[in-house]
Structure 1
Amino acid sequence: MSSTVSDNINNAQQKVVLIGRPNSGKSLLFNQLTGLQQKVANFPGVTVELKSGKMKDLTIVDFPGTYSLHSFSQDEQVAVDAIYKALDSDETGLIVCVLDASRLERSLVFGLQIQALAKKHNKGFVFVINMIDDALRFGHEIDVQGLSTELGSPVFALSAKTLIGLSEFQQALPELVEKQQSTIPKIVNDNHDDVIKQSRQLAYKFGMNANVVLKQQNRIDQFLLHNWLGGVAFMAIMFLLFQSIFTWATPLMDAVESGIGILASFVSKMLPEGIFNDFLNDAIFGGVGSFLVFVPQIMVLTFIIGLLEDSGYLARAALICHKPLSFFGLSGRSFIPYLSGHACAIPAIMAARTIESPRKRLITMMTIPLMSCSARLPVYALLIAVFIPQVQYLGGLVNTQGMVFFGLYMTGIVTALIVSFVMDKMHFADSDKSEMPFILELPSYRLPHWKPLMYRVLNSAKYFIRRAAPVIFMVSVGIWILGYFPIHEGGLENSYLGHIGHFIEPLFEPLGIDWRYGVAILMSFLAREVFVGTLGTLFGIEGADENIAGLAANIQNDGLTFAAGMGLLMFYVIALQCVATVATIKAETGSQKIAWGLVVGYGALAYLMAFIVYNIF
């Protein structure tokens, strides 16, 4: 089975359109049919753009999940617009509506609306009852043939997770498209009350007892959504999340660092001394190699967030956070983009489309850059390794470095909340404060589907390397050339880079750092992780044949003070140093003034806070 991804759907083939509510497993079904690995999660707003892939001679299109044809948010509007466009297109061969076996009544309300539209547009239509494994787990077997007769459309029962019934559906798809199976629903009625009544009757006759599912779900929710126990559990989960980035990733980081050191020594011995040898040692192994050491932490972060997403806990966390976030002018839905921002700000800003209120959506997007994304991880990890001793507690589950790491992330979150509060009180966004009530569907608790999760983890590492490595390579080469020449006339201090660095040094002296760190900060405005690569190159040039990968040890030996190090950490918690994020903010807000205003504003605030921290310590 071959597969490709395209945002522009292939017009040469018949399309099979997947439509369904959030949490119905639609995207996982899409992955299984096409062999692709689109992100799957238990909350709306994950898929806010059309994705397509091939299954043999068919083009499968995954539409954004939506609860209703009457949209309340931007991502739902994307889905609704796309649905009507697909129904009007001659290239659409079949509409597949994905239902949730454990919540058949709710799924059918939307499904019957889509079925009626498909009938009016004379489009082939089929129902897929997904997550049939949940029904079987509770001892319920759905009468597929009887339900198909009642609905007047073909019905398939399957599990995209356990693959039950999937092969039968795959085999039937080409024939269904070829026949252009028309729908013959008993009720073609736009009256919402009639649709709800029919859905309830069908779910009662053919569906599983919803109380059985809710009883199990409620037992867990009694603890996780308890008035104060839920908050304690939430803080404990967040604390363990950031602790795990250090404790779980340390062995992998040590292995990567050792591997880079061994490779560097081997290559250095194989080549004669000279400029090329120095370039490989200083720019490649010293610069690019220094940031590769921190890739395991990004993988661990992605893995933990993936567990929270796939299990269904994120929706509960959004519910827990709604009341406190409302005080700061935000919504419970702001929590999901905020948490996503700890991986990467770009998809997090796009995920803010799920927030119904234009005011809260804008404030959320503008404060997401204060979340500590994965690009900050190398900077945090490097400086923490330099200044914070690794003292372990509770058998190694908790250590001081992880606690400081958690503190840095919380500092970013608290700063974002304070900025949000100020923006809200300043009436920065739309002055109309009339809001819709906060409504959020709580998905069933489920075990993660491990294959897509592990693919996501590996893909996060590949994406980070692919995005950061070219920039770090170019910066490292540029820094090396400026710092190496004229190397025989007094070393790094008197190089071209040294002259540039000393020119800008007065700007950074109030923070207790010299020109080398100043150069690294300026270079990192391209991307934060460049800070590590730049320092790796600079210390590589100075250190000559010393330990190339041991950048933390080089900084310790250099004598950077604790106060200056803490100030640097504070600077990177706040400063907006990512060109791609700026571009995304500009695209989503439609305002260049807002995008570059955030760069200047957060940059000035970061400098001020770094100065305060330096003088406090």
Structure 2
Amino acid sequence: MKRILLVGKPNSGKSLLFNQLTGLRQKVANFPGVTVDIKTGKFDGFELVDLPGAYSVHTLSKDEDIAIAQINKAMADDNTALLVCNLDATRLQSSLVFALHMQALARQHNKNVVFALNLYDEMQKIGHAIDTEKLSAELGSPVFAVSARTLFGIAEFKEALKAIAGGHQPVAQPEQLSAAPELIQQKARQMAASYGAKADILLKNQNRIDSFLLHHASGSLMFLLVMFFLFQSIFTFATPLMDGVEAGIAAIAEWSLSLMGEGMAADFIRDALFGGVGAFLVFVPQIMVLTLVIGLLEDSGYLARAALICHRPLSFFGISGRSFVPYLSAHACAIPAIMAARTIESPRKRLITMLTIPLMSCSARLPVYALLVAVFVPSTQYLGGLVSLQGVVFFGLYLFGIVTALCISLLLSRSSALDGKQSDMPFILELPSYRLPHWKPLIRRVVESGKLFIYRAGPIIFAVSVVIWVLGYFPQNGSLQDSYLGMIGHWIDPIFAPLGLDWRYGVAILMSFLAREVFVGALGTLFGIDGADEHIGDLASQLQA
């Protein structure tokens, strides 16, 4: 299958363009370095390859190494039919620097090049038109003005790609361009001045907002408020959704049990299914709220500012502002957060960040925290219900994980064990334009986060709930104290008794070694077997009782 390569600088709308061309749903965000691996999709009989963003052929980060290595490999491959360079219309000069390098490389291998002038809707907002015909003539390759967000020019661009990649539309070869960096910089600067919008017009609103958000006093205060809002929303704003899920589970349980009557099957459905799995499902809305708020911060462009604000304090702990985004992502899941750390240029800081990411409180711990906070902390509210005491304690639990990770980072940065990973890389971060969120991909990402959490944790929790129910139900048909599980629990009881916990909590803690969120389902099953049938789905009330 013939291949089309899609390349460009980071945070230029490249991944969103890839989604529009292939119909896939790869993650996109208004932050450089979101695409840290190679993605492929089908486009009209061609394989479209989305490579990580790069600023130059002279690489600094691991993802740039991957991109340049793959580009060089693909250029020497006869199956590569076309190279598509994605240009950021709002950052034309920096986009052209990389694009001209790619054009010179493609010319050496006799490959066709097409330029996609993306984010053109931003130009239309300020009333600036770029003469794509003249720009195309000067570059010697076709230039198409598109907006992957508003779909402006996408249909025409697709038709042109089909014709060019299929060899039905000849492309004039550009004049041989020297790959010397200084000559490419000069030409990019000249073309950006001729065709691009003036920087003072493009950055007028951005600079005005940045003067407040990046100020050492107002910016720091705003950052703390945003982070407090993030964790407060997990508990406060997700409560109505959690109440709805809980009511729905209780209603379904009551209806199902009314059709079955008494017996072992009814006990299993009530205690294991609704008591165990149902208690876990109540906390899924909090995962979705966390994903929504982080997505809003990404798409708006604030996340890059937060990384810049955090650079100075984080540098004291031996890491950089680029570690902020992996740390924040770790509150959803540690695995993609560790992958996101690949965008950190310094090998030493990258390694320290990856080693300390698991200390953050990921979403698997969120149901456990939420359950314990709901049981032990009163739901006192302040400021008309905008702030709750439970949310404050919840924020404190997450803050403890962050502080722990920073302390370990400080120790690692001072350790001689990492002397071979000395950092000589500067902290470089391009601040993206402020933009409204891409609502459709964002909502899809929120829904997918809930589904993924259920699919990943649900089968484990169901299996554990079944095992606990069987051990807790037999041999006395529902007498938990005299069951096999009761025997095991009383055997380990001396370990947990000094902590003030009875054997049921000890069993749930042991089960949580399989997966953290199993703790909630295990307690739900245990308390269901123990006769707390009147609170199906409301595990917090059972524990308080």
Pairwise TM-score range, normalised by the shorter structure: over 0.9
| Shift in Å, 1:190 | 1.3
Which residue of 2 is the match for residue 289 of structure 1? Answer: 278
Q: How does 1:551-566 map to 2 (within 5 A)?
A: 551-557=539-545
Q: How does 1:191-210 map to 2 (within 5 A)?
A: 191-210=180-199
Of the three residues 221, 246, 270, the one matched with 2:210 is 221
- The 8 Å contact of residues 118 and 183 in structure 1, kept in 2 or not, is answered as no
Q: How does 1:99-498 map to 2 (within 5 A)?
A: 99-179=87-167, 181-182=170-171, 184-488=173-477, 491-498=479-486
Pair 123,510 (structure 1): closer, same or farther in 2 beyond 3 Å = farther
Q: Please state if 1:20 is matched with 2:20.
A: no
Give the distance between the partners of 1:85 and 1:517, measured in 2 at CA.
56
Pair 85,385 (structure 1): closer, same or farther in 2 beyond 3 Å = same
- The 8 Å contact of residues 2 and 81 in structure 2, kept in 1 or not, is answered as yes
Of the three residues 46, 66, 72, the one matched with 1:78 is 66
| Shift in Å, 1:69 | 1.4
- The 8 Å contact of residues 142 and 171 in structure 2, kept in 1 or not, is answered as no
- The 8 Å contact of residues 358 and 430 in structure 1, kept in 2 or not, is answered as no
| TM-score, normalised with respect to structure 1 | 0.86
Of the three residues 511, 517, 522, the one matched with 1:529 is 517
| Partner SS for 1:200 | helix
Give the distance between the partners of 1:223 and 1:551, measured in 2 at CA.
45
| Shift in Å, 1:511 | 2.3
User: Which letter maps to 1:450?
Assistant: W
| Partner SS for 1:19 | strand
Which residue of 1 is the match for residue 503 of structure 2? Answer: 515
| Shift in Å, 1:434 | 4.1
Give the distance between the partners of 2:489 and 2:81, measured in 1 at CA.
63
Q: Please state if 1:501 is matched with 2:484.
A: no
- The 8 Å contact of residues 123 and 181 in structure 1, kept in 2 or not, is answered as no
Which residue of 1 is the match for residue 533 of structure 2? Answer: 545
- The 8 Å contact of residues 119 and 182 in structure 1, kept in 2 or not, is answered as no
Give the distance between the partners of 1:434 and 1:256, measured in 2 at CA.
49
Give the distance between the partners of 2:345 and 2:497, measured in 1 at CA.
46
- The 8 Å contact of residues 125 and 183 in structure 1, kept in 2 or not, is answered as no
User: Which letter maps to 2:220?
Assistant: G
- RMSD of aligned alpha carbons: 1.4
| Shift in Å, 1:181 | 4.9
- The 8 Å contact of residues 150 and 186 in structure 1, kept in 2 or not, is answered as no
- The 8 Å contact of residues 26 and 98 in structure 1, kept in 2 or not, is answered as yes
- The 8 Å contact of residues 107 and 176 in structure 2, kept in 1 or not, is answered as no
Which residue of 2 is the match for residue 594 of structure 1? Answer: none
Give the distance between the partners of 1:119 and 1:502, measured in 2 at CA.
75
Give the distance between the partners of 2:29 and 2:145, measured in 1 at CA.
21
User: Which letter maps to 1:329?
Assistant: G
Quick check: 46-55 or 253-262, which moved more?
A: 46-55
Give the distance between the partners of 2:350 and 2:330, measured in 1 at CA.
14
| Partner SS for 1:24 | coil
| Shift in Å, 1:287 | 0.7
| Partner SS for 2:5 | strand
| Shift in Å, 1:503 | 2.1
- The superposition leaves residues 5-59 of structure 1 with CA deviations (integer Å, 9 ceiling, x where unpaired) of xxxxxxxx22221111111000011111112111112333322221112233232
Give the distance between the partners of 1:536 and 1:183, measured in 2 at CA.
69
| Shift in Å, 1:217 | 1.2
Give the distance between the partners of 2:58 and 2:510, measured in 1 at CA.
48
Report the identity percentage: 64
- The 8 Å contact of residues 22 and 42 in structure 1, kept in 2 or not, is answered as no
Give the distance between the partners of 1:546 and 1:254, measured in 2 at CA.
16
Which residue of 2 is the match for residue 33 of structure 1? Answer: 21
Give the distance between the partners of 2:421 and 2:314, measured in 1 at CA.
18
- The superposition leaves residues 156-213 of structure 1 with CA deviations (integer Å, 9 ceiling, x where unpaired) of 0011111111111112221010127556223521100000000011111111112211
Structure 1 stretches (4+) deviating beyond 3 angstroms?
Answer: 180-183, 430-434
Quick check: 216-225 or 53-62, which moved more?
A: 53-62
Give the distance between the partners of 2:445 and 2:103, measured in 1 at CA.
34
Unaligned stretches of 5+ residues in structure 2? none
| Partner SS for 2:326 | helix
Which residue of 2 is the match for residue 67 of structure 1? Answer: 55
Give the distance between the partners of 2:421 and 2:162, measured in 1 at CA.
51
Give the distance between the partners of 2:171 and 2:129, measured in 1 at CA.
27
Give the distance between the partners of 1:521 and 1:84, measured in 2 at CA.
52
Between the two proteins, the alignment pairs up a number of residues equal to: 544
Unaligned stretches of 5+ residues in structure 1? 1-12, 558-617
| TM-score, normalised with respect to structure 2 | 0.97
- The 8 Å contact of residues 291 and 533 in structure 1, kept in 2 or not, is answered as yes
- The superposition leaves residues 83-122 of structure 1 with CA deviations (integer Å, 9 ceiling, x where unpaired) of 1122122222111110000110110000000111111111
- The superposition leaves residues 291-335 of structure 1 with CA deviations (integer Å, 9 ceiling, x where unpaired) of 111111111100000011111111111111111111111111110
Which residue of 2 is the match for residue 585 of structure 1? Answer: none
- The superposition leaves residues 436-459 of structure 1 with CA deviations (integer Å, 9 ceiling, x where unpaired) of 221111111111111111110011
Quick check: 212-221 or 249-258, which moved more?
A: 212-221
Give the distance between the partners of 1:229 and 1:431, measured in 2 at CA.
39
Larger RCO (CA within 8 A; separation ≥ 6)? 2
| Shift in Å, 1:544 | 5.5
Quick check: 419-428 or 533-542, which moved more?
A: 419-428
| Partner SS for 2:533 | coil
Give the distance between the partners of 2:500 and 2:413, measured in 1 at CA.
35
| Shift in Å, 1:355 | 1.5
| Shift in Å, 1:350 | 1.1
| Partner SS for 2:432 | coil
User: Which letter maps to 1:367?
Assistant: T
Give the distance between the partners of 1:334 and 1:155, measured in 2 at CA.
36
Give the distance between the partners of 2:439 and 2:532, measured in 1 at CA.
45
